[in-house]
Structure 1
Amino acid sequence: MKLSMGSIIRILIFSFSMISASLVVAQTDDENGGDGLPTQQELTASGPEGTLRGTLTLPVADGAIPDGTPVVLIVPGSGPTDRDGNSPFGISAASYALLAEALAERGIPSVRIDKRGMFGSADAIPNANEVTITAYGDDVLAWTRAIRERLPTTGGGTRCVLPLGHSEGGLVVLAAIARLPDPCGLILVSTPGRPLGTVLRDQLHANPANAPILNEADEAITTLERGEQVNASTLNPALQPLFAPEVQGFLIDAFGYDPAALIAETRVPVLIVQGMRDLQVGEVDARRLADSAPEATLSLVPDVNHVLKAVLSDDKAANLAAYADPDLPIAQDVVEAVTQFLEQIDE
């Protein structure tokens, strides 16, 4: 049976293809400024070898943010996912951009970012594949400093910068939160609760069309979990992009983290948001995270898929179609869960 790479990629949250795309994300400084609507501004932070770039969305054009108002730092998911939540792998849902707009309408500022080596942050490192979870965490710290410099409090206190990690971004912020100066909270959205090797195995096994390649895939994952490289050239051609030599260093690093163990050590308020129609991360992951952190708030949102859009049936085709529909609004249940959590932080 001949398997297309597209059929495999569609069921994977962690394609791990870190190759930088040559797409350009259009940005407009002070977009909508002056008309009473939320305003968007380019924001930069210091990267390892060059500038990290993102978009600051403010509820009001003059940028006057009360001291107690948190700033949400949206940390993107796996692979070449840009600051808006889009990817050259056929994802154009604009989930992060829509979330930022929805939060701004509720008075909450946010920053969404391009990952080091990609898109607007392409100059931050020469090779976007040479990354680790810890390196991405370094950027979370850099962004936190940049946000606090851009939006200082008037009373001399420390601005609350609250990371929101989506998908793989949830693992990044879980690993980074202990290093964050004056952390005030954490939001995990569609975040795996199991080691990524386990999640990847389950996702591959969930698609019957992958049966001919499962033994090879399982062996490759096990090898990487041991910290050893895989000879990708010997694998089925459908698996070679997934286990390409240039991404194996990242895979070995990422497979070494257990999200449940990380959240058990977290000492800040945590919100866990999980869509119940998510084809890639499920309730089992959210509950494993919640069981490891009994004081965390768990929000299971019905009819919401992985890109945070409302899907009103079990039709997989309709679910996947939402991945390419930027006109489909962000799920309001997700926005409400995040807003209510932030209101508690602000008290």
Structure 2
Amino acid sequence: MFLSSFPLRRSAPILLLLLSCLSALGQTEESIRYAITQPANASLTLEGTLTLPDGATKPVPVVLLIAGSGPTDRDCNSATGLKSDAFKMLADSLAQQGVAVARYDKRGSGKNLFLAANVLKPQEHRFDFYVSDAIGFIRQLQADKRFSGVFVAGHSEGSLVGMLAARQTNANGFISLAGAGRNIADVMKEQGRRLGNPADVQADVDAALDSLKQGYPVHPRNPLLKSQLSPAAQPGLISWMKYDPATELSAYPKPVLIVQGRKDLQVSVADAERLKAANAAARLLLFDDMNHILKNVARTSQTDNFKTYNNPTLPLTPGLATAIAQFVKQ
């Protein structure tokens, strides 16, 4: 869940919907594009896909799906080894139930992976840039008369991005998919312990994360921490750590659905319960066998769990898409 940092230059805040009309399985796909606006003088266009249900005779709800940390693209795949197609599957399933889905390659992923590395300076990245991008896509969807309402769904890191963007745009509803309920520094500490860090290494991790959370850069001696917490990445992490997801969600007045798997090794059920406690009107939905990439896993071992991250043929957790469709259509 460590952040991959990518910053920017100024372009007009334009999101173009370009018709490509690929009909399959009762749905149509269009290309979507958004020229980033933060930071100033950075030129990068984010690309994505809008999946529409075929045969709609009146406006339908649309969900903006926001990816999690690292170079995760619109399909829930990445250049670092993740190959799940989870977001593509979710978009297809929701379209078949009458719900449109927009999803995009976040900066530093998918089609903009190599361009972003040349255009964006990691040390200039701030977490709010992700929020700005999401807001840009939401505004365009809100202006599209084909949609009866715009809902925001954020996965993992994208949950915090999504709840901030949803509140700033007055989106019709928000869905947290395996989203942290605590400050990301605390989540990272727990992940290290779950993955079996030796005590001395974990002590270094805790100290470094505590310092960053307080806004102070670190100079770790441990080789692993040096790569994970490079000087260029630290400003972005510090900007991320200023947020408490539970506090942010408590200020969102529209309907909320919190979805969490009990076999998620990256985000815990306690995180989902903390989000629920912060927003009493929210609905909490727990899936017994679902892991972090929204798929079922039979065993609880790390090996078996992480094997699913590279199996694009494995279906989504049964009932997940239906629960989301029911939430946005209620």
**Do the structures match in fold with TM over 0.5?**
yes
Amino acid aligned to 1:249? P
- The question of whether the paired residues in 2 share the 8 Å contact of 1:116 and 1:128 is answered with no
- The question of whether the paired residues in 2 share the 8 Å contact of 1:191 and 1:286 is answered with yes
Distance (whole Å) between structure 2 residues aligned to residue 183 and residue 56 of structure 1: 17
* Structure 2 spans left out of the alignment, 5+ residues: 8-17, 38-42
**Alignment equivalent of 1:335, drawn from 300, 304, 321:** 321
Query: Equivalent residue of 1:188, what SS?
Result: strand
Partner of 1:127: 120
> Does residue 109 of structure 1 match 2:100?
yes
Partner of 1:11: none
Partner of 2:132: 138
Q: CA deviation at 1:315?
A: 3.1
Query: Equivalent residue of 2:29, what SS?
Result: strand
1:65–1:43 Cα change, 3 Å: farther
Task: Provide, for residues 195-232 of structure 1, a one-character-per-residue CA deviation record: whole Å limited to 9, x for no partner.
Answer: 00011111112233443411211111111011011124
**Alignment equivalent of 1:245, drawn from 228, 231, 246:** 231
1:238–1:31 Cα change, 3 Å: farther
Amino acid aligned to 1:326? P
Distance (whole Å) between structure 2 residues aligned to residue 278 and residue 65 of structure 1: 39
- The question of whether the paired residues in 2 share the 8 Å contact of 1:76 and 1:115 is answered with yes
Q: CA deviation at 1:257?
A: 0.5
Query: Equivalent residue of 1:162, what SS?
Result: strand
- RMSD over aligned CA atoms reads 2.2
Count of residues in Structure 1 that have an aligned counterpart in Structure 2: 312
Partner of 1:5: none
**TM-score computed with the length of structure 2 as normaliser:** 0.88
Percentage of matched positions with identical amino acids: 34
Distance (whole Å) between structure 2 residues aligned to residue 275 and residue 333 of structure 1: 12
> Does residue 198 of structure 1 match 2:181?
no
Query: Equivalent residue of 1:246, what SS?
Result: coil
Partner of 1:59: 53
Partner of 2:141: 147
Query: Equivalent residue of 1:208, what SS?
Result: coil
Partner of 1:271: 257
**Alignment equivalent of 1:39, drawn from 28, 41, 47:** 28
Query: Equivalent residue of 1:56, what SS?
Result: strand
- The question of whether the paired residues in 2 share the 8 Å contact of 1:194 and 1:259 is answered with yes
Distance (whole Å) between structure 2 residues aligned to residue 330 and residue 299 of structure 1: 15
Query: Equivalent residue of 2:238, what SS?
Result: helix
Distance (whole Å) between structure 2 residues aligned to residue 184 and residue 36 of structure 1: 27
**Alignment equivalent of 2:168, drawn from 132, 156, 179:** 179
* Structure 1 spans left out of the alignment, 5+ residues: 1-13, 21-27
Aligned residue runs from structure 1 range 153-302, under 5 A: 153=146, 159-180=148-169, 182-232=170-220, 235-302=221-288
Distance (whole Å) between structure 2 residues aligned to residue 31 and residue 320 of structure 1: 35
Partner of 2:297: 311
Distance (whole Å) between structure 2 residues aligned to residue 143 and residue 306 of structure 1: 25
Q: Which moved more, 1:333-342 or 1:95-104?
A: 333-342
Q: CA deviation at 1:117?
A: 4.1
Distance (whole Å) between structure 2 residues aligned to residue 96 and residue 338 of structure 1: 13
Task: Provide, for residues 126-181 of structure 1, a one-character-per-residue CA deviation record: whole Å limited to 9, x for no partner.
Answer: 216333232111111110122244x424xxxx74211100000001112222211x
Distance (whole Å) between structure 1 residues aligned to residue 289 and residue 110 of structure 2: 31
1:65–1:253 Cα change, 3 Å: farther
Q: CA deviation at 1:322?
A: 0.4
Amino acid aligned to 1:178? R
- The question of whether the paired residues in 1 share the 8 Å contact of 2:213 and 2:238 is answered with yes
1:334–1:218 Cα change, 3 Å: same
Amino acid aligned to 2:88? A
Q: CA deviation at 1:19?
A: 6.2
1:31–1:327 Cα change, 3 Å: farther
Distance (whole Å) between structure 2 residues aligned to residue 193 and residue 148 of structure 1: 28
Q: CA deviation at 1:95?
A: 0.9
**TM-score computed with the length of structure 1 as normaliser:** 0.84
Distance (whole Å) between structure 2 residues aligned to residue 29 and residue 327 of structure 1: 28
